[in-house]
Amino acid sequence: MKLNLATLGCLAAMAIGTLTFSSCNNAAIEEEAGTDQAVATDSEEGESISSEASNIADGAARGTSIVGRSSAADGGYELLSNCATISHDTTTTPRSLVIDYGATNCMCNDGKNRRGRILVSYTGRYFETGSVKTMTFDNFYRNDKKVEGTRKITNNGLNSSGRMNWTIVATDMRVTRPDGTTHTWNSTRNREMFAGYDTPAMSDDEYQVTGNGSGTNARGINYTAEITTPLHRMMSCRWFDKGIMTLTRNNGSSRTVDFGDGTCDDQATITVTGRRGRTITRTITLN
């Protein structure tokens, strides 16, 4: 068994006495919290990229047969920017939509650089029961991180609460960073619309998201992710503003990520509790 220097140091210190052991335990918790922060950040990045790609596609087709809404009614929040070229074929079955940012980075209105293409096929309107939208990526980069995989969105119609909802399945998703490290994940989510259905703008739409997933983060750590309190999102905000996700690493330890109290900001907190009851809370910045 290989031992790193930090572990050897703690083992040696443990021989000295209980007080030193407590210090080592705290140091171990601090190190584990840092690792969990990386898991949480990667997991959130995956969710952010997936949701963002759908919003881009919806914005590209606004006023057409995917969404059926007018961009003029939408308050100016737009991910596409002027450098995205939209190709829309409504004569095929399923219909197709291509969002092409070009071969070089394009600074978009949300402050992120994008290049490459998002490819969309769909069978009907976004709000049409039974419609299916499938998204893939062609040499697509977001802030110089390559995005790959498939995202499928199925309209389930109205649920028992009378709200429109969608099943979202992310399959073999992968983000490759400039340093060559990768984050992979698969997930199944349910997206339920709470408000904004009866207005033409998307900016007042309100959703909650439930579901689970699994992945391997950029450090090679396997994890599962379960939304234990529904994530809340206003389309006028670029981040989830409420909800809790529980992350469980392959060693069985669980951590929580809290997205806040409803304030629109790019902050969330991760909480880890050590075996001796000490709790550490750290703030992470959402992507």
At 230, list the tokens: 């529904």
pLDDT in tens, 42-87: 777 777 777 788 878 877 776 333 333 334 334 334 556 677 888 8
Q: Which helix (H) or strand (E) holds 53?
A: helix 18-60
pLDDT in tens, 251-270: 877 889 999 999 999 999 98
Q: Judge whether residue 4 has pLDDT over 90.
A: no
Q: Which of 32-41, 115-124, 146-155 has the lowest mean pLDDT?
A: 32-41
Residue 284: beta bridge partners? 268
What average pLDDT does this structure show over 223-239?
90
Task: Look at residue 259 in the predicted model and tell me its pLDDT.
Answer: 93
Rg of the chain on CA atoms, in Å: 21
Task: Look at residue 275 in the predicted model and tell me its pLDDT.
Answer: 63
Residue 167: beta bridge partners? 154, 190
Task: Tell which wins on pLDDT, 180 or 279.
Answer: 180
Task: Look at residue 168 in the predicted model and tell me its pLDDT.
Answer: 94
Nearest to 287 by CA among 43, 66, 35: 43
Task: Look at residue 274 in the predicted model and tell me its pLDDT.
Answer: 65
Distance CA 94, CA 61 (A): 15
Task: Look at residue 22 in the predicted model and tell me its pLDDT.
Answer: 42
Task: Look at residue 180 in the predicted model and tell me its pLDDT.
Answer: 95
Mean of the per-residue pLDDT values of the chain: 79
